[in-house]
Amino acid sequence: MSSIKVKMLGQIVLKFLTGDEFNEEKATKLVSDAKLDEDDMKGCVAAISQIFTSSARYGIEEDVLNNELQQLGLPKEHATALGKVYNENNNNLTEILSKKSLRTSVLEDVNCDISNVENEKSNSI
Protein backbone atom coordinates (compact mmCIF):
# COMPACT_ATOMS: atom_id res chain seq x y z
CA MET A 1 0.00 0.00 0.00
CA SER A 2 1.47 3.34 -1.00
CA SER A 3 2.01 6.18 1.44
CA ILE A 4 -0.51 8.29 -0.49
CA LYS A 5 -3.21 5.66 0.07
CA VAL A 6 -2.23 5.40 3.74
CA LYS A 7 -2.62 9.17 4.01
CA MET A 8 -6.03 9.04 2.31
CA LEU A 9 -7.13 6.20 4.60
CA GLY A 10 -5.92 8.24 7.57
CA GLN A 11 -8.04 11.17 6.40
CA ILE A 12 -11.10 8.93 6.12
CA VAL A 13 -10.54 7.60 9.64
CA LEU A 14 -9.98 11.10 11.01
CA LYS A 15 -13.21 12.36 9.44
CA PHE A 16 -15.00 9.47 11.12
CA LEU A 17 -13.41 10.26 14.48
CA THR A 18 -14.45 13.90 14.20
CA GLY A 19 -18.11 13.05 13.65
CA ASP A 20 -18.64 12.40 9.95
CA GLU A 21 -19.93 9.09 8.66
CA PHE A 22 -17.38 6.42 7.82
CA ASN A 23 -16.98 6.17 4.05
CA GLU A 24 -16.60 2.40 3.84
CA GLU A 25 -16.88 2.35 0.06
CA LYS A 26 -13.93 4.71 -0.37
CA ALA A 27 -11.87 2.86 2.25
CA THR A 28 -12.59 -0.49 0.61
CA LYS A 29 -11.54 0.89 -2.77
CA LEU A 30 -8.25 2.17 -1.32
CA VAL A 31 -7.30 -1.16 0.22
CA SER A 32 -8.60 -3.30 -2.66
CA ASP A 33 -6.06 -1.65 -4.96
CA ALA A 34 -3.40 -2.98 -2.59
CA LYS A 35 -5.02 -6.45 -2.75
CA LEU A 36 -6.24 -6.35 0.84
CA ASP A 37 -9.60 -7.83 1.78
CA GLU A 38 -12.35 -6.39 3.98
CA ASP A 39 -10.92 -7.84 7.20
CA ASP A 40 -7.55 -6.26 6.43
CA MET A 41 -9.29 -2.94 5.82
CA LYS A 42 -11.07 -3.17 9.17
CA GLY A 43 -7.76 -3.93 10.85
CA CYS A 44 -6.07 -0.94 9.20
CA VAL A 45 -8.93 1.36 10.16
CA ALA A 46 -8.90 0.12 13.75
CA ALA A 47 -5.13 0.55 14.01
CA ILE A 48 -5.17 4.07 12.56
CA SER A 49 -8.09 5.00 14.79
CA GLN A 50 -6.22 3.77 17.86
CA ILE A 51 -3.08 5.63 16.81
CA PHE A 52 -4.95 8.92 16.33
CA THR A 53 -7.06 8.72 19.49
CA SER A 54 -4.14 7.71 21.70
CA SER A 55 -1.92 10.40 20.21
CA ALA A 56 -4.58 13.05 20.80
CA ARG A 57 -5.26 11.78 24.32
CA TYR A 58 -1.63 12.11 25.36
CA GLY A 59 -0.81 15.23 23.33
CA ILE A 60 1.83 13.63 21.14
CA GLU A 61 3.62 15.87 18.64
CA GLU A 62 4.05 14.94 14.99
CA ASP A 63 7.77 14.15 15.14
CA VAL A 64 7.32 11.93 18.20
CA LEU A 65 4.47 10.09 16.48
CA ASN A 66 6.62 9.58 13.37
CA ASN A 67 9.49 8.15 15.42
CA GLU A 68 7.19 5.84 17.39
CA LEU A 69 5.51 4.51 14.25
CA GLN A 70 8.90 3.86 12.64
CA GLN A 71 10.08 2.04 15.76
CA LEU A 72 6.99 -0.16 15.46
CA GLY A 73 8.07 -1.10 11.93
CA LEU A 74 6.06 1.24 9.74
CA PRO A 75 8.02 2.56 6.74
CA LYS A 76 9.17 6.17 7.05
CA GLU A 77 6.87 7.36 4.24
CA HIS A 78 3.81 5.78 5.87
CA ALA A 79 4.69 7.17 9.30
CA THR A 80 5.20 10.64 7.83
CA ALA A 81 1.87 10.46 5.98
CA LEU A 82 -0.04 9.52 9.13
CA GLY A 83 1.88 12.11 11.15
CA LYS A 84 0.90 14.87 8.73
CA VAL A 85 -2.77 13.90 8.79
CA TYR A 86 -2.68 13.81 12.59
CA ASN A 87 -0.85 17.15 12.87
CA GLU A 88 -3.25 18.93 10.50
CA ASN A 89 -6.26 17.89 12.59
CA ASN A 90 -4.82 17.47 16.08
CA ASN A 91 -6.59 20.42 17.72
CA ASN A 92 -9.98 19.55 16.25
CA LEU A 93 -9.62 15.88 17.17
CA THR A 94 -8.57 16.67 20.74
CA GLU A 95 -11.53 19.00 21.20
CA ILE A 96 -14.04 16.49 19.85
CA LEU A 97 -12.62 13.59 21.85
CA SER A 98 -12.72 15.62 25.06
CA LYS A 99 -16.42 16.31 24.45
CA LYS A 100 -17.07 12.59 23.91
CA SER A 101 -15.18 11.46 26.98
CA LEU A 102 -16.93 9.95 29.96
CA ARG A 103 -18.64 12.59 32.03
CA THR A 104 -20.96 12.34 34.99
CA SER A 105 -24.29 14.09 34.79
CA VAL A 106 -24.93 17.21 36.82
CA LEU A 107 -27.28 16.86 39.79
CA GLU A 108 -30.39 18.84 38.96
CA ASP A 109 -32.94 18.05 41.66
CA VAL A 110 -33.23 16.12 44.91
CA ASN A 111 -36.46 15.01 46.55
CA CYS A 112 -36.63 13.45 49.96
CA ASP A 113 -39.68 12.11 51.82
CA ILE A 114 -39.43 11.05 55.43
CA SER A 115 -42.18 8.96 56.83
CA ASN A 116 -42.48 7.45 60.28
CA VAL A 117 -44.13 4.08 60.35
CA GLU A 118 -44.82 2.53 63.70
CA ASN A 119 -44.99 -1.17 63.88
CA GLU A 120 -47.82 -2.39 66.06
CA LYS A 121 -46.99 -5.48 67.98
CA SER A 122 -49.78 -7.68 69.13
CA ASN A 123 -49.14 -9.79 72.16
CA SER A 124 -51.09 -12.91 71.73
CA ILE A 125 -50.77 -15.95 73.93
40-72 pLDDT, tens digit per residue, is: 889 999 999 999 999 998 988 999 999 999 999
115 within domain boundaries: no
pLDDT value of position 122: 52
pLDDT value of position 89: 87
Domain count, the chain: 1
pLDDT value of position 123: 53
| 8-38 tens-digit pLDDT | 999 999 999 988 888 888 888 888 877 888 8
109 within domain boundaries: no
Burial 51-65 (b: 16+ CB within 10 A, else e): bbbebbeeebebeeb
16 within domain boundaries: yes
105 within domain boundaries: no
Residues spanned by the domain of 47: 3-99
pLDDT value of position 3: 87
What is this structure's pTM?
A: 0.74
